[in-house]
A and B are shown apart, each in its own frame.
Chain A
Amino acid sequence: MGRNGIGELEQLVLLALLRLGNDTYGGAVRRELARAAGRDVVLSTVYVTLMRLEEKGFVSSWMGEPTSKRGGKARRHFRVEPDGVAAAREARDTLLRMWDGVDASSARA
């Protein structure tokens, strides 16, 4: 995988972040993946992916305030950066280009 290529899980997490809007966090991403993509992913996998995206500069994060609902623990908020949006778009375009010309019936088979 090259410098700008992203894996499937990374795409899904990026899309979940975009769907949830800015200021979302790891637990919400995990639930969104389960709800919208039907993927039951362990929280640690979500975090590893988020941090990998952050390392690539596609997302950024910051710490929020602790709340009693969370046992006094703060949230770590994530936001998609312009590079991340571009990467998601490029991944989508790549897929569409590849699907273009693939016979619908043979794909179904």
Chain B
Amino acid sequence: MPSYPADPPPPPPPPRLAEALLERLLPPALRGPYLGDLREDFAELHERRGALAARLWYLTQVLRSRPWALARAEERLHSPHRSHRRPGGPMTGFIQDVRASLRSVRRTPLPSAVIVLTVALAMASATLVFSIYEGVILRPFPYAEPEELVDVHLVNPVMAALDDPASRQMGERYPLSYPVFEAWRSAASLPLASFGAYQGDAPLYQDNDTEQQPLNAASVTAGVFEVLGVPAALGRLPAAAEDVIGGPATAVLTHPAWQMRFGGDSAVVGRDVRLGERTFRVIGVMPPGFYFPTARVDVLTSFSDGQRATSGGAYFLRAIGRLRAGMDVTATQLAMDDVVARAGTTIGRGPAGVRVADRRAALLGDVELALQVLMVTVLVVVLMASVNVTNLLLARSTGRAADAALRRALGAGAGRLLRLQLVETLLLVAAGALVGTLAAVGGLDASLALLPEALPRQDGIAFNGAVAAFALLVTLAAAVLATLAPAWFAARSAPAAALRAAGGGLRFSRAAGRAQRALVVVEITAAVVLLMGAALLARSYLQLTSVPLGFDPHGMVVVPVYTTPSFARDGEAVAGWEAAVRDQVAALPGVADVVVSGDVPFAGGTGLTGIEYERIGGGVESISVANAVVSPGYFEFMEVPLLEGRFFAPGGDPEAEGGVIVNRPLADQLWGEGPAVGRRVRTGEGEDPWLEVIGVVAGMRTQNPAEPPGARLYQRGSAGGVFYVAARTRGAAASMMTPVRATVLASRADLQSPDAFTIEDRLATATAHPRFRTTLLASLAFVAAILALLGVYGVVSHAVAERRREIGVRMALGADGRRVRRAVLAQGLALGALGIGMGLLIATGTARYIRGFLFEVETSDPVAMASVVLTVLAVAGAAAYLPARRAAAVDPGEALRAE
């Protein structure tokens, strides 16, 4: 049997701690050869000169080894483009930093990807919201010195004193009549530099060219152009001398209309265009960007002589003026009060006042506050993203505390470490910003579709230089914020601590852990505040869209019809036409029911009439009420419940029937809770006959679903110049708009009809602002929840990774997996609970900013609060679940060996 020589005794090992430290620092490819060489020499020295000398020599070797030089040499050796430049140039340091950062990113692909995603989410939200804010709020109006522009309203004190909010609003901003406008314009003491009027709430009229997109026109006085102070880009603007009875009919085109309808042909000046019943001479084209009064208007025309010559009754003008130098809105208001008093302005025979208001504030309305809330919200989201990035960097930097400590021990200054960290952060944040900005640019059009049509100035919304600059600024701020904390910990770690740590496996410092958890609690707090806001708005929106309107809006198509005055006065002709058009529309397939009426809900304005009524205790009192003229069958068609008495009887002579119907709010206002049927009212000023109340119907919400039904008096008859043909359809109402309108227009040659609409569309428009606010805030809150989820996940999984050895020991000592999992889950839920507590406190404190947006929801709404609490707990639990499962699956043996 051959004998084998026994293995020689293994040589004495070098100091374990020093070798382990060096092993971590060396580039992987060099570890074996380098440490092996040192071992050989160590063994030889140990044999020749003893243990102490060998150990001292080994320590010197470790301390004087330059791992960074080795890593660089190694890197250069394997890089495809071998660079022979020696370090030293100003760019070399930076390039080295970038390379080091890229290496570090490659080593930690998941946290790096999460950082990029986080920044991208925040940047996309910020860019979108800021694009909207910039376009709507910040971009200057396209007029000279826009801050000098004011709206000048007539005030109807009778109407302004009514309970109904819609009436009150109308009374405080009543339109002018042509005589009132003329009286003020010609007043010697008019305190305005310039003054003009335009057709306000009346429908735009369109040309009859059905082949092309119709042109929308609005009438303006010559003074409007003077007020706006924008010169024509082509041709000229109307002169004041032309703006008189018998003056020429002129038209000024906006730039987009000129481009789209006239191909940008400059020969259009001097040409005639036909709009509605009238022909206008085109005299000028406005510069690009100009719009007035809204971007929907394509042509600004002069008023007709008929409009200029109207007597007292027609209140259809909106007036604007330019402040005089040195006069503010308040001073102008006082001076205008004086003008109105001297001119003896009245509305009908009632009193009248005047209101001067900043035009910008009036145009933007509550949109400005809503967008400000959204801007604050998006800044919170950006800060949350910074916190997340900080946390992720912190987790990585604590994992490399020994690494940083050794760099310092080897002479790397704190400045150099900070620079390295900053470069790395900037790289990640820049990548995220790029992705986010690209996503925002791509998603901008889709988001614009979400904007309410009534949102002013939305055509100004675009991705532009200011938005890009903002994006860049946010990126830089986030990068600096995200770098400060990790760099502070990196620069602070002392070499001695790192050496200690190397003995027992690397631990992240307790201070860093505390900072991380605190940041995540702040993050959850922010998410709770945003979710709470979103939940309140969502609840409010649901309330608003499910509020009973008092009638059935489904499937209703409405065609407004304008008739000639001579036709409207001919009662018999109107009755005949009504019956005919009703039959013709009812014969259309898909139409279930038809009514022709002087009023439909959500059609726009409210008529107002003065009435006298018999009081309960006797005597007569007069007030102003909103009134509507409707036909028999109207209430049945609308499905308005009858509360007392009866509806108007079909057929029969309206004059002979002589009754009126009141709605519940009006009955309550006039006669309290008692029965209203049989009581009497009369319109006019005491000359008309008394009319008996024949029925009481429920109130309808007719303009804004958020406002309770207003008092209303219903009379039977024909409304005069305006009718509505309303059809209840069986299928989709939208597809029936064209056939119903065509049938109506074919029923008589002298009818005009602007676009048909559906009640459901009008309702959607009326709730567009809340929908916009809610959707945007909910999206931001969703982003915030995701960021909080990532934050909790990052912290808990990092803590589990750090405590792997401890968990292994516990499990080796008999702790079971379920308990470990519960403990880790509890850690995540504890962070969530802390954040929820603080978040609800802050949400309660800040809720007043959105109270104005809430409809029938309290800021302390328990449903909203409960859903937020459950959501956040679920998010925190979900975020902690994966790390908890990983912790429970730790193999004790493996965990201990790994160290």
Contacts and interface: CB of A to CB of B under 8 A. Distances in A.
Interface of A: 1, 3, 25-27, 30-31, 42-45, 47-48, 51-52, 54-56, 63, 66-71, 73-76
Size range of the chain B interface in the assembly: 20 to 34
Interface in B52-95: 60-61, 64-67, 69-70, 73-74, 76-77, 82, 84, 86
A30 B37 contact: yes
Contacts of A30: 37, 41
A8 to B, nearest CB: 15
B342 to A, nearest CB: 96
B39 A70 contact: yes
B69 A63 contact: no
B41 A31 contact: yes
Interface in B15-51: 30-41, 43
A3 to B, nearest CB: 7
Nearest to A69: B11
B10 interface: yes
B66 A48 contact: yes
A73 B77 contact: no
Contact of A25 (B37, B43, B74, B76): B37
A74 B33 contact: yes
B13 interface: yes
A75 B10 contact: no
Contact of B43 (A63, A69, A75): A69
Nearest to A61: B33
Chain B contact residues, majority secondary structure: helix
A44 B7 contact: no
A71 B35 contact: yes
Contact of A43 (B31, B61, B74): B61
Given A44-B65, A47-B73, A66-B32, A55 B82 contact: yes
A44 B64 contact: yes
Contacts of A69: 11, 39-40, 43
Contacts of A3: 84
A73 B32 contact: yes
B65 A26 contact: no
Contacts of B7: 68
Nearest to B30: A47
Given A25-B37, A47-B70, 18 more contacts: A3-B84, A26-B33, A26-B34, A27-B36, A27-B40, A42-B65, A43-B37, A43-B41, A43-B61, A44-B61, A47-B30, A47-B73, A63-B32, A70-B37, A71-B39, A73-B33, A76-B30, A76-B32
Contacts of B39: 69-71, 73
Nearest to A42: B64
A75 B37 CA distance: 7
A106 B714 CA distance: 127
Contacts of A25: 33, 37
A52 B86 CA distance: 11
Nearest to A49: B73
B483 to A, nearest CB: 31
Contact of A68 (B10, B33, B86): B10
Contacts of B31: 73
Interface of B: 7, 10-11, 13, 30-41, 43, 60-61, 64-67, 69-70, 73-74, 76-77, 82, 84, 86
A40 to B, nearest CB: 10
Given A43-B38, A68-B7, A75 B33 contact: yes
Contacts of B10: 68
Residue of B33, B35, B61 most packed against chain A (CB within 10 A) = B33
Residue of B40, B41, B76 most packed against chain A (CB within 10 A) = B40
Contacts of B82: 55
A51 B29 CA distance: 12
B376 to A, nearest CB: 55
B77 A27 contact: no
Nearest to B7: A68
A27 B43 CA distance: 12
A94 B239 CA distance: 95
A51 B36 contact: no
A85 to B, nearest CB: 20
Nearest to B63: A42
16 contacts: A25-B37, A27-B37, A27-B38, A43-B34, A43-B65, A44-B34, A44-B64, A44-B65, A47-B34, A47-B70, A47-B73, A48-B66, A51-B73, A69-B40, A71-B35, A74-B33
Contacts of A26: 33-34, 37
B58 to A, nearest CB: 10
Contacts of A68: 7, 10
Contacts of A63: 32-33
Contacts of A45: 66
A92 to B, nearest CB: 23
A31 B31 CA distance: 19
B33 A51 contact: no
B32 A74 contact: yes
Contacts of A71: 11, 13, 35-36, 39
B33 A76 contact: yes
Task: List 5 tightest A-B contacts by C-beta distance, closest first.
Answer: A73-B36, A27-B37, A76-B33, A70-B36, A51-B73
A75 B36 CA distance: 7
Contacts of A70: 36-37, 39-40
B37 A52 contact: no
A68 B86 CA distance: 38
A77 B34 CA distance: 11
B4 to A, nearest CB: 15
Contacts of B60: 42
A108 to B, nearest CB: 34
Given A43-B65, A63-B33, A48 B38 contact: no
Nearest to B36: A73
A70 B43 CA distance: 9
Contacts of A27: 36-38, 40-41
Residue of B64, B65, B73, B77 most packed against chain A (CB within 10 A) = B73
Contacts of B33: 25-26, 47, 63, 73-76
B485 to A, nearest CB: 33
Nearest to A78: B33
A24 to B, nearest CB: 11
B40 A44 contact: no
B70 A44 contact: yes
Residue of A30, A55, A67 most packed against chain B (CB within 10 A) = A55
A73 B35 contact: yes
A74 B40 CA distance: 11
B410 to A, nearest CB: 11
Given A27-B38, A69-B40, A55 B66 contact: no
Contacts of A66: 32, 36
Contacts of B64: 42, 44
Contact of A48 (B37, B40, B70): B70
A32 to B, nearest CB: 12
B194 to A, nearest CB: 79
Contacts of A1: 86
A32 B484 CA distance: 48
A56 B77 CA distance: 9
B336 to A, nearest CB: 86
A51 B77 CA distance: 7
Nearest to B10: A68
Contacts of A56: 84
Contacts of B65: 42-44
Nearest to B11: A69
A10 to B, nearest CB: 12
Contact of A44 (B11, B66, B77): B66
A76 B32 CA distance: 8
Contacts of A47: 30, 33-34, 70, 73
A52 B43 contact: no
Contacts of A55: 73, 76-77, 82, 84
B79 to A, nearest CB: 9
A51 B33 CA distance: 13
Nearest to B19: A71
A87 B520 CA distance: 60
A28 B33 CA distance: 12
